[in-house]
Structure 1
């Protein structure tokens, strides 16, 4: 036996969808224009990860940065969320030189388009979290 319940048009269910703004935007492998665009985002701290594909420590640090910034729970000392920008230094040497990148990985935090803090080398997740909270 098959029961089918038909609802009159006035009682139909209407589905609506809502979403909240993501805390994190990830700008992978940006060029100079993309980097400049990412720095213009207001109300967020931009974390720039300067890396190279051949760099072992970069392969360790990259996933850590993505993990701690992705969920949007972690915020800076000013309460601002983060955007993550990755810059391949092999392809964007001028950009790396502009910000004084001399070793990999180098992570620079930007607030209102200006560099405010940085660290060099692969560090554990707990230290990355401390760094992000201090910005």
Structure 2
């Protein structure tokens, strides 16, 4: 009887309230990969209400610089501690310019990769070409 009590005791400690892994952030960064027009509009329009910056990566599957930049963008925006110069958290939207031609033309994308930063629902800054991680972090400091 006493040994059953000892086995049940650790189970009570384990069944306590769960611990949140990301308690320092109200919301983890979100990635919307290969977004269509509706997803793009929904995510970029919501930036004014949630104090976040959305980076929109216009790319194409055949583009070699895009293949270099995409993993860097995903890595940097996935880190919840990464913030912009204004202290805002980041989300990432990727748009395939071959599939979303209207969206690419709406923002006059003529070279890829092009990354446009949206703050408060409006485009505020952009860069063209592949940057390394340090260059991307410098860009984020300006937003």
**What TM-score, normalized to structure 1?**
0.89
The equivalent of 2:72 in structure 1 is: 64
Aligned mates of 1:4, 1:133 — CA distance in 2: 59
Alignment of 1:1-135 (within 5 A): 4-6=3-5, 12-13=12-13, 14-19=15-20, 20=23, 21-39=26-44, 40-41=46-47, 42-135=50-143
* Number of aligned positions between the proteins: 132
CA drift at 1:47: 0.2
Secondary structure of the residue aligned to 1:46 is strand
Runs of 4+ in 1 over 4 A off after TM superposition: none
Contact 1:74–1:133 (Cα < 8 Å) also in 2: no
Q: TM-score, normalised by structure 2?
A: 0.84
Q: Which has the higher helix share?
A: 2
Q: Report the more deviating stretch, 15-24 or 43-52.
A: 15-24
TM-aligned CA distance change 1:78 to 1:70, over 3 Å: same
Tell me how far apart the structure 1 counterparts of residues 94 and 132 of structure 2 sit (CA, whole Å).
18
Contact 1:77 1:134 in 2 (8 A): yes
* 1:15 Cα deviation after fit: 2.3
What do residues 91-123 of structure 1 show as CA deviations (whole Å, max 9, x unaligned)? 101111111111010000000110000000011
- The Cα of 1:12 is off from its aligned counterpart by 3.3
Q: 1:108, 1:73 → 2: CA distance?
A: 21
Give the secondary structure class of the aligned counterpart of 1:86: strand
Question: 1:60 Cα shift?
Answer: 0.2
Unaligned runs of 5+ residues in structure 1 are none
